[in-house]
């Protein structure tokens, strides 16, 4: 069984790997119900019991698929995280348009930003309906990148979540983003249980290690790190690889290939080093990995099982291949 770890003092626990469901909501390409269910089954068989989703992922598709899979499992046996900040409303057009915000094969719905107290409560109620649950373990304020959104989230949405936490409707509160400055600003001003930072603590970009992770450690805030493989480049740094949801620049592909060469000297795939790099930081509670197939689950779990020596990271540091914020 995969080990469980505490989200600090929140009372919520997650497995060391958390399954992110954006790919199962059709991120980059459509996924069938059958393939999505097979991926969930593989994750469950591997011992993963923590699942992260959001209304944004396939405009509700990921939440519905996750809820359908979990319906036959005892509620006490798994942990679910979802997000608030985007309400789903009927699309004005005649039907769904593939590729909106990178998702394919989705329902005919549109996203509307809303970080207000009413918006947060409505978003959570809608998510619970899609998931078929009466509570979730963790709710993350999702992508308040705009300054007005960040202020509304702090002044209105967050107090509503704090009350829901007090009422036992949710277990923990956090913020989930793929940038560093707003989460740092939020952690300094709110009583958060958790931060999910995507793509900003990796072998190619560890900017979260400069301020955000130390701040979370100081304030007792758990950290989940997503984007461990930076959209794929740190699993397979081949020409055409993705970085941060876009085609990777040539210099980053070359940097990743150099990292892969160092890993090969230790008999390790670059993906194992990428995952170990994240989890070796004492401020990090768990890693969130997205997968769209059972084979990808097997690969990620295999990475977790591979011992990665400290000497590998010392060598990467010595040749200038660890980014700022990576530590020693």
The β-bridge relationship of strands 86-90 and 109-113 is: antiparallel
Handedness of CA 25, 199, 81, 291 (dihedral sign): positive
Could you confirm whether 78 is annotated as catalytic? no
Reading the block at residue 19, the tokens are 């399954």
SS (H, E, C) 165-223: HHHCCEEEEEEEECCCHHHHHHHCCCCCCEEEEECCCCCCCCHHHCCHHHHHHHHCCEE
List all residues 6 or more positions away from 169 whose beta carbon is below 8 Å from its beta carbon: 124, 135
Residues 6+ apart with CB under 8 A from 263: 269, 270, 272, 273, 312
* CA distance to 8, 36, 109, 119, 151, per residue, from 92 (Å): 43, 28, 8, 20, 29
Pairing status of strand 86-90 against strand 79-84: unpaired
Rounded Cα distance, 321 and 234, in Å: 13
C-beta separation of 12 from 171 below 8 A:
yes
**DSSP designation for 156:** I
Tokens of 302: 């295999």
Active-site position among 57, 78, 158, 303: 57
Residue 120, judged by CB atoms within 10 A of its CB (0-12, 13-18, 19+), counts as: buried
Q: Phi/psi at 211 (nearest 5 deg)?
A: -130, -50
Cα 84 → chain centroid: 14
Closest CA to 195 of 173, 218, 210, 227: 173
- Active-site residues, by number, are 57
């Amino acid at each position: 069984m995969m080990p469980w770890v505490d989200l600090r003092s929140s009372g919520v626990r997650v497995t060391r790997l958390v399954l992110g469901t954006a790919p199962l909501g059709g991120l980059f390409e459509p996924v069938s119900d059958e393939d999505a269910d097979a991926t969930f089954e593989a994750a469950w068989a591997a011992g993963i019991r923590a699942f992260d989703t959001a209304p944004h992922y396939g405009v509700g598709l990921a939440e519905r698929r996750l809820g359908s899979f979990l319906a036959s499992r005892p509620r006490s046996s798994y942990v679910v995280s979802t997000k608030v900040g985007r309400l789903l409303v009927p699309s004005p057009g005649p039907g769904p348009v593939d590729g909106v915000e990178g998702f394919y094969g989705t329902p005919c719905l549109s996203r509307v930003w809303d970080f207000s107290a009413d918006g947060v409560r409505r978003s959570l109620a809608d998510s619970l309906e899609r998931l078929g649950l009466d509570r979730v373990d963790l709710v993350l304020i999702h992508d308040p990148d705009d300054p007005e959104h960040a202020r509304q989230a702090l002044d209105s949405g967050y107090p509503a979540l704090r009350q829901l936490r007090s009422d036992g409707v949710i277990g923990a509160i956090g913020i989930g983003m793929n940038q560093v400055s707003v989460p740092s600003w939020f952690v300094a001003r709110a009583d958060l249980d958790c931060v999910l930072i995507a793509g900003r603590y990796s072998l190619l970009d560890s900017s979260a290690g400069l301020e955000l992770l130390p701040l979370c450690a100081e304030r007792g805030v758990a950290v989940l790190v997503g984007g461990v493989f930076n959209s794929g480049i740190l699993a397979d740094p081949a020409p055409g690889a993705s970085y941060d949801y876009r085609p990777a620049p040539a210099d980053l592909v070359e940097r990743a290939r150099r990292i892969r060469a160092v890993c090969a000297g230790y008999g390790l795939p670059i993906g194992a080093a990428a995952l170990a790099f994240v989890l070796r930081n004492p401020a990090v509670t768990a890693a969130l990995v997205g997968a769209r197939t059972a084979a990808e689950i097997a690969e990620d779990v295999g990475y977790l099982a591979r011992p990665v020596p400290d000497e590998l990271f010392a060598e990467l540091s010595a040749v200038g291949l660890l980014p700022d914020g990576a530590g020693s």
